[in-house]
Chains A and B, each alone.
Chain A
Amino acid sequence: MRELWSGNEATARGIYEAGVKVGSSYPGTPSTEIFENLEHYDDVYSEWAVNEKVALEVAYGASIGGVRAVTAMKHVGLNVAADPLFTASYNGVNAGFVVITADDPSMHSSQNEQDNRHYAVAAKIPMFEPSDSQDSLDMIKEAFNVSETFDTPVLFRTTTRICHSKSIVEPGEKQDVPVVPYEKKAAKYVTTPANSYARRPLVEQRMRDLAEYAETSRFNIVEMNDTKVGVITSGIAYVYAKEVFPEDTSFLKLGFTYPMPEKLIRDFASKVDTLYVIEELDPFIENFVRTLGIDCIGKDKVPVMYELNPERLREALFGEKAKFNALPEKVVARPPALCPGCPHRGLFVTLKKYKKAIVAGDIGCYTLGAAPPLESIDCLVCMGGGFTLAHGLAKAIEMSGQEDRVIFGLVGDSTFFHSGMTGAAEIIYNKSENGVKVVPIVLDNNITAMTGQQENPGTGHRMKGEIASVVPIEKILEAIGFAKVLVVDPQDLKATKAACDEAIESDEPTAIVTRRPCVLIKRIKHERRRCIVDRENCRKCKMCLKVGCPAVFFKDGKSFIDQTLCVGCTVCMQACPFDVISLAKEATV
C-alpha cells in the first residue's frame, strides 16, 4: 500500500503505529494537521488542550502514568511549553514521550522564524529531524523507542515544507505496546531541588549514551560516492541539496541531529576533499562541525534567513540562477481579509471611532484588524499578550500624562483560555486608581478559527465532536474582579459602541465580551441573508468600503455588493450614512 501523504499525515500514522495512547496538542500552523489526522485513529485518545504548556504536561503525565504519549505544537508554542520540557528532561519518562515542534521558516503563518533545534541543546534532550513524509512516519516511531531506551523526552523537529508537502509513504503495522505499570517513584518524578540535584549527573550520562546511539542510528546515513565533495545535511535541506549537488556527491544525512555523531562526522569529513554543511535557518550542525576543528562551507554562503529552495541554494553556492521573467509591476496583491460576515468586523469598525484609543491585539483571525482599511491595532506580540500589553501601555501613558487616552486589550476566545485569563487577573490586581482606563475585550467567535476551526473550552465540544461543558468566559471575568462584563453582539454596531462607551466611562473595572459565532463553523446553521445597494441613490461616500468586506466594492463609481459572497451581516448597511443598503426581502438558507 503506497500513499501520497503530507508530513503531518505521515506523522499521525507513525504515532498510531507506535502504539501511542494519549495525545494532547494546541493548534498552530504548520503543526495543526498532525492532530487533525490523529483524531481519526480511534485507538489513540487525542485532545485539543487549552495551550501548549498544558498539552505538554498532559502528555507527560500520561507518560508517567505508563502509556506512550505525544504532544505537538508550532515553534512558538514550544516557548510556551518550555518550562515543563526542561524539567521533564531531568525526570525522564515511564512510557515513551515525544514532543513535536513544527517550525515555520519564512514565517508563512507565524510571528517569527526561530530555529527550535536549539531547544534540544538547551533542554538536553535528543532530537530527530525528518526530511520527508516517509521519514516522518519512520522517525516518530523510533523516537518513542529512544525515549524509553534512554529514559528521556524526545524532540521531533519538523518544518512547514515537510508538514505540508506530500510524498510517497508506505505505512507499516501498528505496534502493540503494553502499558507500563505505574509505580510511585518520588525521587524520579518529584522535582525538589535535592531530587533534581541527584538526577543532574544522569542527564549528562544520558547525553553521552545518546551520542553513542547517534553514531549507529539508522537515521544517520552515509551515502558515499565520489570523494571530491561531501555534504552534511538534515531535514528539508537534504532534499534541496540532493537537487543541487552533482549526482556523484557524497552525503551524510543526519536524521538524529542531537546529540550529534562526532565519530561519524569526523570520519565522513576525513574522506572528502571539500566539505559542505547545508541546513535551513541557523548554523546548528555547522557550529558543531567547527567545534571539532573541521573546516567547511556553510553559512558563509547559505542564507541564515527564510526558507531555502533548490534555486536559492544553487545561487548561494554556485552563483547560478535559472533565468526567469520578473514579476510584472502591475500585479495587485490579494491580501488576506476578514471573511464576509466575520463577527470581528463590527468591533474593529467601532474601535476605529476612538481616535484617542491605543489597541493591543493578539494572535488569531482578528490580527487582520490591523490591515487596511480597518487598521485598528497598534501592537501585537504573541498569544495571550493582548491584555497584558494593554496594562503595560496604560502605565506608560499615565506617566506621560496623556490621561485622555484609553487602552483596549483584545484576545480571542481560544486565546483567553490559552493565556489571556492571567492577563485579566493582572489588570485587576495591579490597576491604577484613577489612571488610564484599560478595557479588556474578549472576541468570542466560539471556535479557534485561524488554524482551521478547532474546538476550545468555550465551544461546548471536544476534538472528536463530543459534547463538553462550556467554560463561561464572562463568569471567569466576573470572578476575577470585573464589576461589569458587557456581552454584546459585535454585528450590532450601536450596541458595540454603547458597550465601549460604558466601559470607558464606568468607575468600576469593566470588561467586554463580543459574542457571535464564526460564519465558517459547520455544525451551526447560519442564517443566510443578503444585503443589496440601492445604486440609484448611492451618494458615493465610500463609507461602506471602510468596513473592509470582500463582498462590498465599487463598480462603475457606485457601491456594489457581490451577492454570492454576502451573508447579510448588515455591518455595511449600518455604516452607510444614507440608508441606501438594505436586506434583500427573501431570506435564503
Chain B
Amino acid sequence: MSDVKSIVLIGVGGQGTILVSKILTHALMEHGYDVKMSEVHGMAQRGGSVSTQVRFGKKVHSPLIGEGTADVLVAFEKMEAARGLPQLKEDGILIANDYEIVPLPVAAGRLEYPDQILEALNEKVKVISFDAAGTAEALGQVRAMNVVLLGALVEALNLTELDVRKSVAELVPPAYRDVNLKAFDAGRQLAKEHLHA
C-alpha cells in the first residue's frame, strides 16, 4: 500500500487556506518528501468556497484525490467542514474551526445556516474542533487562525520530523512572525489535548 498521505484544506475565500498549504508544502519539500498540491476554486474567490489538496510521500503521482480518500480534512469554517466531508476517509480525521461565516443566501434570508453542524459531524467521523479564531485573537491577531489550524494538522498527522516552525517563520510577513509561531504552537497544543482526551 502506498505511503502517500492526502490532506484537504477547505475554507472561505480570504481565510488563508492557500498560505497554510504553502507553509506545509514548503516544510514537506524541505524534508525531502515528494509533494503535490492542487488548488480547487470556482469562479469567485471572494466569499466562495475554496479548497486545496496536498499530497505527500516518497512518490506522489496524482495532485488530485476523489471522494473518501483524504486522511485529514482541515475546515477553516464549520459549514465548510460539512461541505468537505465526502472527501474524507471514513476513518479520517476532521479538524474543524468552530467558526461561522454566513453565506449570501443565508444573509439574504433565503436559506438558513444549518445548526449543530459539528455535533452532527462528530457522529460520523473523528473530529478535532476548537475556536481557532478565539485562540488567534487572544494571541493578538485573529487572522492567524489559519496557522492555529496548521498546528493542529501537524499534530494530528504526527509530522514530528518536519521543521514547520521554520517554514512558518520564512513564509509569513516578518511583522506577524511571532504571533504566527505562537498560533502554530497553540494549534499543536489544542490538537494534542483533543487526541489524548
Tell me if A117 counts as interface (CB < 8 A to partner B).
no
Query: B62 contacts A242, CB within 8 Å?
Result: yes
Tell me if B58 counts as interface (CB < 8 A to partner A).
no
Tell me if B63 counts as interface (CB < 8 A to partner A).
yes
**B43-68 contact mask (Cβ, 8 Å, vs A): 1 or 0:** 11011110000000000111111111
Q: In the bound complex, what is the Cα–Cα distance between A314 and B66 (angstroms)?
A: 10
Least Cβ distance of B176 to chain A in Å? 19
- A554's contact among B62, B65, B82, B109, by CB below 8 Å, is which? B109
Tell me if B135 counts as interface (CB < 8 A to partner A).
no
Which of chain B's residues 98-122 have a Cβ closer than 8 Å to chain A? 102-114, 117, 120-121
- A331's contact among B35, B62, B83, by CB below 8 Å, is which? B83
Query: B114 contacts A336, CB within 8 Å?
Result: no
Q: Which residues of A contact B79 (CB under 8 A)?
A: 331-332
Q: Which residues of A contact B86 (CB under 8 A)?
A: 324-327
- How many chain A residues sit at the interface, stated as a range, is 35 or more
Tell me if A373 counts as interface (CB < 8 A to partner B).
yes
Least Cβ distance of B90 to chain A in Å? 5
Interface size on B, residues (CB 8 A): 56
Least Cβ distance of A293 to chain B in Å? 31
Tell me if B145 counts as interface (CB < 8 A to partner A).
no
Contact A311 B48, CB 8 Å, known A4-B26, A164-B38, A324-B90: no
Contact A165 B109, CB 8 Å, known A324-B89, A328-B114: no
- B62's contact among A243, A325, A373, A552, by CB below 8 Å, is which? A243
- B65's contact among A167, A310, A330, by CB below 8 Å, is which? A310
Q: In the bound complex, what is the Cα–Cα distance between A151 and B58 (angstroms)?
A: 42
Query: B104 contacts A165, CB within 8 Å?
Result: no
Query: B29 contacts A4, CB within 8 Å?
Result: yes
Query: A324 contacts B87, CB within 8 Å?
Result: yes
Query: B108 contacts A554, CB within 8 Å?
Result: yes
Q: Which residues of A contact B164 (CB under 8 A)?
A: none
Tell me if B172 counts as interface (CB < 8 A to partner A).
no
Contact A334 B37, CB 8 Å, known A324-B67, A325-B90: no
Q: In the bound complex, what is the Cα–Cα distance between A334 and B86 (angstroms)?
A: 17
Contact A310 B125, CB 8 Å, known A325-B86, A553-B107: no
Tell me if A465 counts as interface (CB < 8 A to partner B).
no
Q: Which residues of B contact A312 (CB under 8 A)?
A: 66
Q: In the bound complex, what is the Cα–Cα distance between A60 and B111 (angstroms)?
A: 53
Query: A310 contacts B62, CB within 8 Å?
Result: yes
Query: A164 contacts B47, CB within 8 Å?
Result: no
Which one of A109, A328, A554 has the highest number of Cβ atoms from chain B below 10 Å of its Cβ?
Answer: A328
Q: In the bound complex, what is the Cα–Cα distance between A363 and B144 (angstroms)?
A: 36
Tell me if B131 counts as interface (CB < 8 A to partner A).
no
Tell me if A339 counts as interface (CB < 8 A to partner B).
yes
Q: Which residues of B contact A240 (CB under 8 A)?
A: 61-62, 64
Q: In the bound complex, what is the Cα–Cα distance between A339 and B46 (angstroms)?
A: 7
Query: A542 contacts B109, CB within 8 Å?
Result: yes
Q: In the bound complex, what is the Cα–Cα distance between A407 and B74 (angstroms)?
A: 48
Tell me if A228 counts as interface (CB < 8 A to partner B).
no
Which of chain A's residues 313-334 have a Cβ closer than 8 Å to chain B? 314, 321-328, 330-334
Query: A325 contacts B36, CB within 8 Å?
Result: no
Contact A242 B104, CB 8 Å, known A165-B38, A334-B49: no
Contact A334 B87, CB 8 Å, known A239-B63, A550-B104, A553-B107: no
Q: In the bound complex, what is the Cα–Cα distance between A282 and B98 (angstroms)?
A: 43
Tell me if B124 counts as interface (CB < 8 A to partner A).
yes
Least Cβ distance of B114 to chain A in Å? 4
Q: Which residues of B contact A327 (CB under 8 A)?
A: 82-83, 85-86
Tell me if B88 counts as interface (CB < 8 A to partner A).
yes
Q: Which residues of A contact B82 (CB under 8 A)?
A: 327-328, 330-331
**Nearest chain B residue, comparing its CB with the CB of A328:** B82
Q: Which residues of B contact A157 (CB under 8 A)?
A: none
**Nearest chain B residue, comparing its CB with the CB of A131:** B61
Query: A322 contacts B69, CB within 8 Å?
Result: yes
Query: A321 contacts B68, CB within 8 Å?
Result: yes
Contact A325 B46, CB 8 Å, known A165-B38, A311-B66: no
Tell me if A574 counts as interface (CB < 8 A to partner B).
no
Query: B44 contacts A337, CB within 8 Å?
Result: yes
Known interface pairs A4-B35, A322-B66, A332-B79; 9 further A-B residue pairs with C-beta atoms within 8 A, sorted by A's residue number = A165-B39, A239-B63, A314-B66, A324-B85, A327-B82, A328-B85, A334-B12, A335-B104, A554-B108
- What are 15 A-B contacts defined by CB distance under 8 Å? A4-B29, A166-B36, A168-B29, A239-B61, A240-B64, A309-B64, A323-B89, A327-B85, A336-B42, A336-B46, A337-B46, A542-B109, A548-B104, A553-B102, A554-B107
Top 4 nearest A-B pairs by Cβ distance? A311-B66, A336-B44, A324-B68, A322-B68
